[in-house]
Amino acid sequence: MPFKPFSMEVDLTLPDITRGDTLIIPVFSAESQSGSDQKEPPKQSSAEAVADVTAGPELPDRFLQLLGENRPLFLEELNRLGFNSGYRKSLVFSQWPLPFARVILAGLGKRSTINPARYMAAIQASLTHLGAGADRIIVDASNWPYEENSAVISIGSAISYHLYRSREYSKDLPEIQSLYIAGLKPGPGKPDPVALTEAMNQASSRAKDLVNMPPNTKRTATLAEEARSIAEQTGMELSIVEDSSWIEKNMPCFFTVARGSVDFDPPRWIHLKLANPSAKKRIALVGKSVIFDTGGIQVKPGSYMNTMKADMTGGATVLGVIDAIQKLDLTELEVHAFLAATPNLVSEASMLPDSIVDTTCGKKVEIRHTDAEGRLTLIDAVAMAERTEPDLMITVATLTGSATRAVGPHAALMSLHHEYRDQLAAAGFRAADFCQTLDVLEEDFEDISSKLDGADINNTGSESYRGAQTAAAFVMSGVSRELPLLHLDIAGGDMSKDDKATGISCRAIIQFLTDLNASLV
């Protein structure tokens, strides 16, 4: 992983502050304030500031006690600077009011608006003051109002995201020696929140590594080698099918996408298995693994082709997750990861619109648009994965622009099985990895029905206003409706505004699997 690891400790007590420490104080604004839009408050005298603490930032009591005789001057300085703890606003003090230490106030906004994802974003925003790093970071999370494990995940993930650099980064990596989270008492359950957070960070970092890799050096073999490396390090069972003839015969819809690149970058069908002798449920993770998407014959406009190196984020995600969870000892689960890896390129052999192709599940597909290729690979991938007889399946895919328009930078979560869907949504909320649910209706399945005599379904649907749901319905058409399939369309959140991978959905899936395992013990 391209960041230097750091140790984590969680305890109720606040440790002694020593030279080189950075103390981060997450601070709520008063409910009467309007967050970052608040006008600058009227200036007060030192005495008035001390008496009117509740009107400004809600500083934790023990931090105020820690200030000692510097408390009046510190509050006066906050008043002078007009710091109101707006969401993702921060303020740094070096060597004062605490000698030898740096103090960062991380604005959380109003208490009524906070959730784990916003908490993580606020902590991450405050870390810009760290520069090249820190010896020890201490975060006083005593004012966290929800489940304590969520705060550990949010803080630990914020630190990891701040330190992360891609594999291509050639400068010195920023680093911290340790992270101490004060004010929390983690629950007795397993895995403990530190181990869980470290697994989530590992999964996200591996996924980001693969997604950030430049497209001129990334191939289907890249994902195969990553899977092989995981298998060698962990002892997982691995199967990689590289025989294009076998894929053409057994996964014909997937092969249709791969036709345009068979000679340049041949397709690979990758299957990793994390076995547990005592497992009570079998889980299949299926990740869309389109190495680069040009749109095919119906080629994308130039600006829409930027960041298409990230069209294999689903595959990177399931590799990251299955690698990380083997350290969590989820004894009640047997987990499989499946990747149908291919680019979608333009050549004389590329698939053509109006074609009718076979699928692994037996349905015939009318290809209405060559840039709706991800679902063509997935319908065969889920059908093949179903042959392992899973109790539950999760698909992860950068599938539709419609999902981006519907839920923005979050994951759109869809399923016909609402109980499991809502459990995954709740897990994502607690893991600071928000998933917004969308309903898939019978009309979505009807919308993808083909009007051609020789085809059963088409790969775009007839209407344009439910594109995320019709794409999900297409993928779900590859398996029995009795099989719980949870579909995550992550097209809106796979890349940040500065075109870097985010590791979206890794934490949500790991939290969900951890919860599921605990329910089976």
The answer to whether residue 300 is catalytic is yes
DSSP string, 314-338: HHHHHHHHHHHHTTTT-TTEEEEEE
* CA separation for the pair 507, 104 (Å, rounded): 26
| Residue with token string 């298998």 | 231
DSSP states of 43-68:
P--HHHHHHTGGGS-B--HHHHHHHG
Cα–Cα distances in Å, from 279 out to 295, 331, 427?
41, 6, 21
DSSP string, 70-90: GHHHHHHHHHHHT----TT-E
Using CA atoms, how far apart are residues 291 and 65, in angstroms rounded to an integer? 55
Token pair recorded at residue 224: 């195969």
Which residue of the set 300, 327, 364, 405 is catalytic?
300
In 251-401 the beta strands, taken as DSSP E runs, fall at 268-274, 281-293, 333-344, 356-358, 364-366, 392-397
Q: How far apart are CA 135 and CA 155, in angstroms?
A: 16
- CB within 8 Å of 288: residues ≥ 6 apart: 311, 312, 313, 314, 315, 340, 374, 377, 378, 395, 396, 397, 398, 399
Helix (H) or strand (E) holding 486: strand 485-489
Q: What is the DSSP letter of 152?
A: H
Q: Which residues pair with 138 in a beta bridge?
A: 23, 180
Q: Which of 208, 288, 375, 430 is catalytic?
A: 375
DSSP conformational letter for 223: H
Q: What are phi and psi of 332, to 5 degrees?
A: -90, 0
Longest alpha-carbon distance in the chain: 84
Whose tokens are 């980064």? That residue is 169
Q: 181, 463 in Cβ contact below 8 A?
A: no
19 is catalytic: no
Q: What backbone torsions phi and psi does residue 184 show, to the nearest 5 degrees?
A: -125, 145
Catalytic residues: 300, 375
